[in-house]
Amino acid sequence: LEVDDDPVRRGHGDDAACQIQVVGPKRAVLVVDHRHYDRGADGGVLWAGIGFIVGQLLIANALADTSPRRAGTDRVNRGTDWAQLILPYIGFLGIAALFAFQVFTGRPLGAIAVSATVVMVFLVVIRQVVAMRAQFLLTGRLYWALGHDTLTGLPNRIRFAQLLDEAARDRRFVLIFLDLDDFKEINDRYGHAAGDELLCAVGDRLKQHLSDNDTLARIGGDEFAILTRSEGEEPEAVADRVRVALRDPFPVQGSSVRVRASMGVVGPDAAGLPETADDLLRHADVSMFAGKQHGKDKAVVYQAATGTPADFAIALRDAKGAAPEGFRLVYQPIVQLPEGRTVAVEALARWTAPNGMHVPPETFVAAAEAAGMGAALDAVVLNLACSDVASAGLDVDIHVNIGAARLGSTGFDENVRRTLG
């Protein structure tokens, strides 16, 4: 801000009371000579006031610099945001102050002052309407992004869980947790961009084979979930619809790729079915994993009557290193032929669910692996096998099955040494 105190220019009432000089793309200098105008001239006072207001606007605009050199800290960014927010209203308040000054000092309101006030009010109103509309649009986009997958445009896990909670209360639904088989090989062969295109194509294909009452969501990675509320439709029928949708190959970079999926299916007729989305998704996930263990491209329907696979993982966790209730080992002899001499025994895990049903090993082992309890299960089997052989007083080699993920693991090696020691 430069102030001219040159006495030579005093008394020239016809000179401009202020000058605004733009010195850069975002810099302006307001030059005010408070002695240039005749203090008794209304026009001079008016023009001086307007010049002062416009100058404030330009200076505020210069302060609202959003260039990269000033965006280094959050404090500067917050100050810039506030400056840009209040900038349109500074001129309005300045005009209002000038308007009030004219009225209280008894000076007549000129056409310029009235016109400037009307224009400024009109511009502020328009700006407010535009800002509110932009805010509504942005809020809508943010709300949509919160509940949808950015790649496929399908509902994401958060939105799907909300819909699943609503359906669980009505107990009229079929839930399918779907995982594409060998999708990693497609990514490795064609690239991740082609994999993304395939995910979108799978989503579009599935939507075409689902009804308006069905909800398709992408849970994450190559995992999808389907929620259907069709009255009286069996879970197996819904799984068959998914198989039909994926039957035809998908074009990928000039090649035809067949997509298969393992599915875990949960219906509302299972006794003791939990009513939360997390529990339902966990049961469906465990059932899907069991399908993969059986050779992939299979749909496994959750049945509480045969024992809940996920309950084994919970029981294993609650046992805190001990064998869970109903868990035991049976031993199969390993015989050397032709002598027929037993040279070792193989420890085989068995589990009887609390309802008395015998759960197949491939089912509860898959449940433990899916819940991240595979290492804990291996430790329980190893400890129990050594304890059984020691109690029987036998001197025999024991063969214990462990998960492939533990092979070469330092932690597993240490656990074996600690158990044998």
pLDDT digits (tens, 9 = 90+) for 58-92: 555 544 544 444 445 555 555 555 665 666 666 66
Which of 225 and 241 is assigned the larger pLDDT? Answer: 225
Cα 96 from chain centroid (whole Å): 48
Pairwise CA distance, residues 218 & 225, whole Å: 6
Question: Where residue 18 falls among pLDDT bands split at 50, 70, 90?
Answer: very low
In the predicted model, is pLDDT for residue 49 greater than 60? no
User: Sign of dihedral through CA atoms 54, 56, 57, 59?
Assistant: positive
Question: Where residue 212 falls among pLDDT bands split at 50, 70, 90?
Answer: confident
Which of 339 and 261 is assigned the larger pLDDT? Answer: 261
Cα 376 from chain centroid (whole Å): 30
Which of 265 and 28 is assigned the larger pLDDT? Answer: 265
In the predicted model, is pLDDT for residue 115 greater than 70? yes
The pLDDT score that the predictor gives to residue 61 is 55
Residue pair 268/171 in contact by the 8 Å Cβ criterion? yes
3-state secondary structure of 174: strand
The pLDDT score that the predictor gives to residue 131 is 81
Pairwise CA distance, residues 377 & 8, whole Å: 98
Half-sphere exposure of 334 (CA within 13 A, CB side): 11
Pairwise CA distance, residues 385 & 406, whole Å: 18
Taking each helix axis from N to C end, the angle separating 361-370 and 277-293, rounded to the nearest 10 degrees, works out to: 120
Residue pair 224/218 in contact by the 8 Å Cβ criterion? yes
DSSP annotation of 321 reads T
Maximum mean pLDDT: which of 42-46, 292-296, 392-396: 392-396
Question: In what helix (H) or strand (E) does residue 348 lie, and over which residues does it extend?
Answer: strand 341-352
Give the largest CA-CA distance in the chain: 129
Q: Determine the straight-line distance between the first and last CA of the chain, rounded to whole angstroms.
A: 85
Mean pLDDT, the chain, integer: 76
In the predicted model, is pLDDT for residue 167 greater than 80? yes
Residue pair 32/59 in contact by the 8 Å Cβ criterion? no
Name 107's Cβ contacts closer than 8 Å, sequence gap at least 6. 42, 45
The pLDDT score that the predictor gives to residue 227 is 93
The pLDDT score that the predictor gives to residue 286 is 78
